[in-house]
């Protein structure tokens, strides 16, 4: 079945760039997503990329997609303490009905 893998933790200093990586097994997803979850909260859609794109930039966020290697990354420029949260990568299943999520990467930003 479909699987999404992420590293569990990332620690950076305020002002540095953060790069969160994700690999997935099923390449049929039309869209690939990044969500942010703060403690006790729901999921906030950060950004998504269409599968025929290699890169998408949205203010401080850059998404890179390598379809050959089934690798998705999220770069956050000038990381702030408010960026501390759990970041989830998600892709659609083959039926296009369900999002398959990774376990999430906890980003810790120190000042």
Partner 1 sequence: ETGVTQSPTHLIKTRGQQVTLRCSSQSGHNTVSWYQQALGQGPQFIFQYYREEENGRGNFPPRFSGLQFPNYSSELNVNALELDDSALYLCASSLGTSGRTRWGEQYFGPGTRLTVT
Positions that interact with partner 1 (CB under 8 A): 4, 30-31, 33, 35, 40-45, 48, 50, 88, 90, 92-93, 95-104
**List of residues 6+ apart from 87 with CB closer than 8 A:** 6, 20, 34, 35, 36, 37, 46, 74, 104, 105, 107
Q: How far is the CB of 67 from partner 1 (least distance, A)?
A: 17
**Which CB sits closer to partner 1, 30 or 110?**
30
Q: How far is the CB of 14 from partner 1 (least distance, A)?
A: 26
**Which CB sits closer to partner 1, 76 or 89?**
89
Q: How far is the CB of 68 from partner 1 (least distance, A)?
A: 22
Q: How far is the CB of 16 from partner 1 (least distance, A)?
A: 26
**54, 47, 39: which is closest to 90 by C-alpha?**
47
**Which CB sits closer to partner 1, 42 or 68?**
42
Position of tokens 């994700």?
22
Residue 98 DSSP symbol: -
**Which CB sits closer to partner 1, 14 or 26?**
26
Position of tokens 């998408």?
56
Rounded to 5°, angle at Cα 106 from 35 and 49: 30
């Amino acid at each position: 079945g479909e699987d999404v893998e992420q590293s569990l933790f990332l620690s950076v200093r305020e002002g540095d760039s953060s790069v969160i990586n994700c690999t997935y097994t099923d390449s049929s997803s039309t869209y690939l997503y990044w969500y942010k979850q703060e403690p006790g909260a729901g999921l906030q859609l950060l950004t998504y990329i269409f599968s025929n794109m290699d890169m998408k930039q949205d203010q401080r966020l850059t998404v890179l997609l390598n379809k050959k290697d089934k690798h998705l990354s999220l770069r956050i420029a000038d990381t702030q303490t408010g960026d501390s949260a759990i970041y989830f990568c998600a892709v659609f299943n083959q039926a296009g009905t369900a999002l398959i999520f990774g376990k999430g990467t906890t980003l810790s930003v120190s000042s």
